[in-house]
Amino acid sequence: MDLLNLPVRALILGAGRGKRMRPLSDRTPKPLLRYCGKRLIDWQIEAMARGGVRHFVVNTAHLADQFPAALGNGSDRGLMIEYSREGDTEADALETLGGIARALPLLSPDGQTPFIVAAGDIVTDFDYGALAARAGKLARGEADAHLVLVENPSFHPQGDMALTDGLVRRAPRQYTFASIGLYSPRIFRDVEIRPCKLFPWLYRFCDQGRVTGEVFRGLWKNIGTPQQLED
């Protein structure tokens, strides 16, 4: 079963400066850096496309012009790629929550279909097609979001959140958010378009038992520094 059963679109986050990746990110946006011969963002696009996603939105700010020049409109891959331009410099970036609010009309034109949001700097073999059933539940109003979690990595041992009976909770912080999530557009309708992080804002829905989750134990790499890229 894949995401073709619902016209699910995906936002790939690419607006940030990637400060920990400097000096490499001074001239090239972090998602456009190459890992194992492939741009970081292409790992995500290809993984999502295997799961049935055909329509992508990339939010941009830092070195924004490089994204459409590198990726085009997706037609060469049988996909559609659009851009949510937040500005021209890192100072214009809206963070994750503000970026979603800005891109919302592109992500869910009907205001009802759920969409995926994922970081543009992770490498994973996560099966995005497995989100199909989750998308249906969100569309029916049975939950507001579904998050993918991973075991706490060495660079983030303190973790982010817990998973109890399939629901995401604030504590104990036994897992790390994998920067992969499926969201209902209804929770973003009244969000102001300004720089704002997704957390702790999303915790209000976790506290209401409206955010489901899963733990992924396959390939997942957060490429954050030049050393990690080299390794």
Chain-centre distance for alpha carbon 41:
11
How high is the pLDDT of residue 1? 40
d(CA 141, CA 171): 25
Nearest to 47 by CA among 15, 79, 17, 70: 79
User: How many CB atoms are closer than 10 A to CB 120?
Assistant: 27
> Looking up tokens 């990595």, which residue turns up?
153
C-alpha angle with apex 172: 225 to 123, nearest 5 degrees?
30
Cα 211 to Cα 129: distance, rounded to the nearest angstrom: 19
Q: Using CA atoms, how far apart are residues 98 and 87, in angstroms rounded to an integer? A: 13
Q: Where does the chain show beta strands of DSSP type E?
A: 9-13, 34-35, 38-39, 55-60, 80-85, 115-119, 122-124, 145-151, 162-164, 167-169, 175-183, 211-215, 220-222
One digit per residue, pLDDT tens: the chain, 231 residues? 445 466 899 999 988 755 554 554 557 788 888 888 889 899 999 999 999 999 999 999 988 999 999 999 999 999 999 999 998 888 899 999 999 999 999 999 999 999 999 999 888 999 999 887 789 999 999 999 999 999 998 888 999 999 999 999 999 999 999 999 999 999 999 999 999 999 999 999 999 999 999 999 999 988 766 566 666
Question: For the whole prediction, is pTM greater than 0.75?
Answer: yes
